[in-house]
A and B are shown apart, each in its own frame.
Chain A
Amino acid sequence: MKRSKKVTLLLMAPLASLILTGCAEQPVDALVFNNPDECASASSLSPEQCKADYEQAKKVSATVAPKYADKSACEADFGVGKCETAPATQQQSSGSGFFMPMMMGYMMGKMFNSGGVGGGNMRGNFAPEPLYKSRDDSSTFRTANNAPVSRNTGLVSVKPSMTRTQATSSVTRRGGFGAQAAARSSMTGG
Chain B
Amino acid sequence: MQRIAIEPRAHWRDYAESVGFNFHTIDHKPYWDETAYYQFSLQQIEHDLETPTEELHAMAIDLVADIIKDEQKLQQLGIPENFWNYLASTWTKGDPYLYGRMDFVYDGNGPAKLLELNYDTPTALFETGFFQWIWLEEQRQQGKLPHGADQFNSLQDKLEHAFREINFPQPFYFSSVAKHSEDKGTVSYLMDIAHQTGMDVRYIAIEDIGEADGQFVDLGGYPIQGLFKLYPWEFLIHEDFSAVIKTSNTVWLEPSWKLLLSNKGILPLLWEKYPNHPNLLPSFFETSSSEPLTAGWVRKPLFSREGANIELITDAGERLHVPGPYDDAKYIRQVLQPLPRFGESYTLIGSWVVRDEAAGICIREDDSLITKNSSRFVPHIILD
Chain B residues with Cβ below 8 Å from A176 are: 209, 211, 239-241, 244
Residue contact B129 to A4, C-beta cutoff 8 Å: yes
Given contacts A126-B200, A177-B207, A177-B241, A189 and B123 within 8 Å (CB-CB): yes
A164 to B196: give the CA distance in the assembly, Å: 20
How far does the Cβ of B183 sit from chain A's closest Cβ, in whole Å? Answer: 5
- The interface stretch among B221-229, B269-277, B285-293 is B221-229
A63 to B224: give the CA distance in the assembly, Å: 12
Residue contact A173 to B188, C-beta cutoff 8 Å: no
How far does the Cβ of B382 sit from chain A's closest Cβ, in whole Å? Answer: 6
Task: Specify which of B123, B157, B176, B324 is in contact with A4 (CB 8 Å cutoff).
Answer: B157
A112 to B360: give the CA distance in the assembly, Å: 29
Say whether B220 faces chain A, with CB atoms less than 8 Å apart.
Answer: yes
Given contacts A4-B155, A7-B156, A89 and B213 within 8 Å (CB-CB): yes
A63 to B220: give the CA distance in the assembly, Å: 11
Chain B residues with Cβ below 8 Å from A109 are: 170
Task: Specify which of A8, A127, A168, A186 is in contact with B196 (CB 8 Å cutoff).
Answer: A8
Given contacts A3-B154, A90-B214, A177-B209, A188 and B192 within 8 Å (CB-CB): no
Given contacts A3-B151, A187-B180, A12 and B19 within 8 Å (CB-CB): yes
| A residues 145-190 touching B (CB-CB < 8 Å) | 160, 163-168, 170-181, 183-190
Residue contact B206 to A181, C-beta cutoff 8 Å: yes
Given contacts A178-B206, A178-B239, A63 and B215 within 8 Å (CB-CB): yes
A 49-83 to B, binary, CB cutoff 8 A, 1 in contact else 0: 00000001001101110000000000000000000
Residue among A8, A13, A122, A175 with the most chain B CB within 10 A? A175
- The interface stretch among B54-62, B77-85, B105-113, B130-138 is B130-138
B 260-271 to A, binary, CB cutoff 8 A, 1 in contact else 0: 001000000000
Say whether B351 faces chain A, with CB atoms less than 8 Å apart.
Answer: no
Task: Specify which of B189, B223, B382 is in contact with A2 (CB 8 Å cutoff).
Answer: B382
What are 25 A-B contacts defined by CB distance under 8 Å?
A: A2-B152, A3-B151, A3-B152, A4-B129, A4-B153, A4-B156, A9-B192, A11-B195, A63-B212, A63-B223, A109-B170, A126-B170, A127-B225, A160-B200, A163-B170, A163-B171, A165-B222, A166-B221, A172-B217, A174-B209, A179-B235, A183-B325, A188-B176, A188-B231, A189-B176
